Amino acid sequence: DAKTTQPNSMESNEEEPVHLPCNHSTISGTDYIHWYRQLPSQGPEYVIHGLTSNVNNRMASLAIAEDRKSSTLILHRATLRDAAVYYCILHNSGGYQKVTFGTGTKLQVIP
Amino acid sequence: EPEVTQTPSHQVTQMGQEVILRCVPISNHLYFYWYRQILGQKVEFLVSFYNNEISEKSEIFDDQFSVERPDGSNFTLKIRSTKLEDSAMYFCASSGIGARAGELFFGEGSRLTVL
């Protein structure tokens, strides 16, 4: 499996934007970049995914570098409810493949 | 919004007892999964299921574990003879196909406590 690298933890002030980085230098051409998050005491939750172009949805934006070796999940205004562990995961949809979780980035939101 | 539901939310059992954890995946999904998370640790893949058979399983998923989709809606995980180290949160997930195959929808989890 292609590997991703994320900081162990980050802090953000409430109502400020948060940029969560992810490096994936060994990404293959058919790997999608997926982001999940896990709120305390809950199951993982899908956030967003993309292949080459930047993506926006109601939860977040995903900015993908031109060479696809890195990406950034952007939360436009952090709320206390966004405090969670955020996982950046590569997933190849060319065939079936499980989603493998790493240790992710623990985001702390400061009121 | 459709969701994955799991029962029970919490089960306490004695070591050596059989446990069945139940899941109702999203109705039009085709891939089904079980994951577990021991307290304070990573979410770990156990098994995936597609077209009524196991697609992939991890080293954790030994002969004590089995999965079944008995009636076209439920997806169950059975642990035949529980051990203390099976204590964990167990998450069921389901997904569609193609580019959405990596978009897993997870349930709230079943907490298993083995005494």
DSSP string across A9-61: EEEEETTS-EEEEEE-TT--TTEEEEEEEE-TTS--EEEEEESSS-EE-SS-E
pLDDT band at A2 (very low <50, low <70, confident <90, very high): low
Respond yes or no on whether the N-terminal peptide bond of residue A111 is cis (omega within 30° of 0). no
Please tell me which of A90-94, B6-10, B72-76 the model is most confident about, judged by mean pLDDT.
B6-10
pLDDT, one tens digit per residue, over A6-33 is 999 999 999 999 999 999 999 988 889 9
Query: Do B23 and B5 contact (CB within 8 A), yes or no?
Result: yes
Query: Which of helix, strand or coil describes residue B29?
Result: coil
Query: Do B93 and B107 contact (CB within 8 A), yes or no?
Result: yes
Do the bridges between strand A70-75 and strand A18-23 make them parallel or antiparallel, or are there none, so unpaired?
antiparallel
Question: Is a pLDDT exceeding 80 seen at residue B75?
Answer: yes
Query: Do A60 and A82 contact (CB within 8 A), yes or no?
Result: no
pLDDT, one tens digit per residue, over A49-107 is 999 999 999 989 999 999 999 999 999 999 999 999 999 999 876 556 788 899 999 99
Tokens of B48: 């995936």
Query: Please, what is the average pLDDT of chain B?
Result: 93
Q: What is the pLDDT of residue A74?
A: 97
What's the sign of the alpha-carbon dihedral A103, A104, A106, B1?
A: negative
d(Cα A6, Cα A12) in Å, to the nearest integer?
16
Query: Which of helix, strand or coil describes residue B39?
Result: coil
User: Contacts of residue B100 in chain A, CB cutoff 8 Å?
Assistant: 93
d(Cα A70, Cα A25) in Å, to the nearest integer?
7
pLDDT band at B1 (very low <50, low <70, confident <90, very high): confident
Measured between CA atoms, how close is A88 to chain B, in angstroms? 12
Measured between CA atoms, how close is A46 to chain B, in angstroms? 6
Calculate mean pLDDT across residues B47-55.
91
Across the interface, of A43, A99, A103, the residue whose CB is closest to B102 is A99
Give first-to-last CA distance, chain A, whole Å: 38
Q: Does B104 contact A43 at a Cβ distance shorter than 8 Å?
A: no
